[in-house]
Structure 1
């Protein structure tokens, strides 16, 4: 008899092969249906590029879970068979794929895209147990249990927020694909080894999704021959949002923080974009060229170098999340402080908050440079003298 571990490896490899085969077919289809990114002021590509690469990822994921994985998962948990577990997720993912595909072809306005994501999120709420119904305050705080109406709102909000956050970082070849592989792999490791009352279905699903994305990545890595598109970015973001809910409702305090850290790159980029646009008087949904990848490119990094730097940042977030699960409470707090301080300093150094918005760097200059201190104190004295003269 073949051991389950070997069967599962065959499933993962088969899923990757399906993705490798499906991607050129999707590329051919994208040209035929008009799912093409044409160069403009905001896009990096210089020539028309086929998009909707998420169709290949979705196809591989669906076959991997329903045709390859479901038949070998014979253990039935209280929630039911694996097929019953994954079917609502696939249906919801199909709605996301349809929404993204329409956007790749016709460039939908924000409201129709949001409605598609909301519909998919509500399917998750009504037909699965991926609910944001309780939350453990990290590092010694109490366990919060939410009423049904609040749990519904938080679940929908989390899925919509993560879906859009991942979509926002889709600006360079291989960026979403690579970052999501790093994040999902970490999520799979955490779900298997560290989550209290871990659900093995979650771990199995995560690595099948990783395989589907990994098969697509060689075509999408710079120089890409196909983009992941909104079809793929929305689907990947949606799946990460849905699957990460398992950690948010976990009774282990560190497990609550873990998915947020794993998703550090898209969450940080989104939060900083909201802060930056608010401070600049822009609407928060207005596009700009101040995202992390834009700023790294403006500093002189190559396309591929920028992607590799963001991969490294994502890896640091993921490594931190793993360290949190084996750290003491004090160690975890210190790790979080160091991570937040590092994120702030990096953000200020590359200028993604905007021009002259560098409070931490200014403080470090004041502490570490006597000339800066003398200049600051001289300005303070001059202003004081001016006020005194004005009072006379």
Structure 2
């Protein structure tokens, strides 16, 4: 009798596995197809209504480019995800549906927050919006996110901290969510950069979610990758029909990455597989945009300027000022981001995570110092030449 029950459970597990692999493939292809259909129409509407991103002294493009591509991100994600959820409910055993139902409850706050950010993003892309209004919207969205029970509750030994009480974890998560959302918005300054960085984070987190048998979140990552592939093509390679994601896209993308990163780092006792130091892995996936934004804010504060005043201090600006093309800037930064994630995943198994984190910081500081030295050398050569 026991062997028969075991055989039935094993069959159910195999059937579930094939179903979930099929859903991942379906979600990837359908999200690519929907985005490929939507983007040309968005570009047409943007050109028809004159919805362009106009060049200025801080921006690096020289001709007006249609924006609003990001308006497609959330609707396509919700549509494909809802279809996949219906398939799971219809085809899976009650145990699988129960697991997904638990995850869905944590998604309610995320959906509400995403709608808030999409709204302020659309307003900013259409008629402009004050920075204070965008910050307020991000704060409201972050509060909605944690209201679903999602917050950082364990640092896994990072900074010598393990379990984190709710009185600290909840406000910390709100601030972190706002910071991640802003960081992705700020790094969106070179063709393909924000989508490339997001792609690295999504593939990394999606793979790790899959290893932990957290298929619900792998599904979200795969859908987002499928959405970003057509956008990346139009943004980087299709010079005749180039399009930007706009604030609607960068804010939504940043919020999505915050949601996924926080969930991966959150310690919830369950049957999910374990991964060494999930807090550091989550941080690694977004290390470059987060620490670039932090560095720029500190530099502005030291010089007595507003930490939120736009300028050309970001990493991509430094590379562009050295004469690299948009494509080379994107390739370099995306390569660095992916290399850092792979390095950290390998090292957390054999080295204390605080040493790994210190090494990451040292590499980052060394890179910035190298770029500053190259820029100074370039200016010296220019002065000598003239």
Verify: 1:244 aligned to 2:264, yes or no: no
Aligned with 1:183 (options 170, 176, 201) = 201
* Alpha-carbon distance change, 91 to 307 in structure 1, aligned in 2, over 3 angstroms: same
1:90-101 to structure 2, matched below 5 A, reads 90-101=111-122
Aligned to 1:122: 143
Distance 2:226 2:279 in 1: 26
Aligned to 1:286: 309
Q: Secondary structure at the match of 1:300?
A: coil
Distance 2:373 2:198 in 1: 22
Distance 2:209 2:229 in 1: 20
Q: Are the aligned partners of 1:96 and 1:231 in contact in 2 as well (CA < 8 Å)?
A: yes
Q: Secondary structure at the match of 1:130?
A: coil
Aligned with 1:311 (options 334, 337, 351) = 334
* Alpha-carbon distance change, 136 to 322 in structure 1, aligned in 2, over 3 angstroms: closer
Cα offset for 1:304?
1.2
Q: Secondary structure at the match of 1:80?
A: helix
Aligned to 1:137: 157
Cα offset for 1:333?
5.0
Q: Are the aligned partners of 1:172 and 1:293 in contact in 2 as well (CA < 8 Å)?
A: yes
Normalised by the size of structure 2, how large is the TM-score? 0.82
* Alpha-carbon distance change, 169 to 213 in structure 1, aligned in 2, over 3 angstroms: same
Verify: 1:28 aligned to 2:47, yes or no: no
Cα offset for 1:29?
2.7
Aligned to 1:386: none
Distance 1:33 1:89 in 2: 31
Distance 2:153 2:218 in 1: 21
Aligned to 2:271: none
Higher deviation after alignment, 251-260 or 170-179: 251-260
1:1-392 to structure 2, matched below 5 A, reads 3-4=18-19, 5-72=21-88, 74=92, 75-78=96-99, 80=101, 86-126=107-147, 128-138=148-158, 141-147=160-166, 149-193=167-211, 199-222=214-237, 223=239, 225-250=242-267, 254-325=277-348, 327-330=349-352, 332=353, 334-351=355-372
Greater helix share, structure number:
2
Cα offset for 1:344?
0.9
Structure 2 unaligned residues grouped into runs of 5+: 1-14, 269-274, 378-386
Distance 1:105 1:54 in 2: 12
* Alpha-carbon distance change, 129 to 12 in structure 1, aligned in 2, over 3 angstroms: farther
Q: Secondary structure at the match of 2:191?
A: coil
- Residues 300-356 of structure 1 show CA distances to partners (whole Å, capped at 9, x for unaligned) of 21121111111111112221232135x2234x5554343322211110111299979
Cα offset for 1:209?
1.5
Distance 1:322 1:53 in 2: 33
- Residues 223-275 of structure 1 show CA distances to partners (whole Å, capped at 9, x for unaligned) of 46100111101010000011111233238661111111110110121111012
Normalised by the size of structure 1, how large is the TM-score? 0.81
The number of aligned residues is 348
Structure 1 unaligned residues grouped into runs of 5+: 357-392
Cα offset for 1:165?
0.6
Cα offset for 1:78?
4.8
Q: Secondary structure at the match of 1:132?
A: coil
* Dislocated runs of 4+, deviation >3 Å: 31-35, 81-88, 332-338, 352-356
Cα offset for 1:35?
3.3
Q: Are the aligned partners of 1:320 and 1:335 in contact in 2 as well (CA < 8 Å)?
A: no
Q: Are the aligned partners of 1:70 and 1:82 in contact in 2 as well (CA < 8 Å)?
A: no
Distance 2:68 2:77 in 1: 15
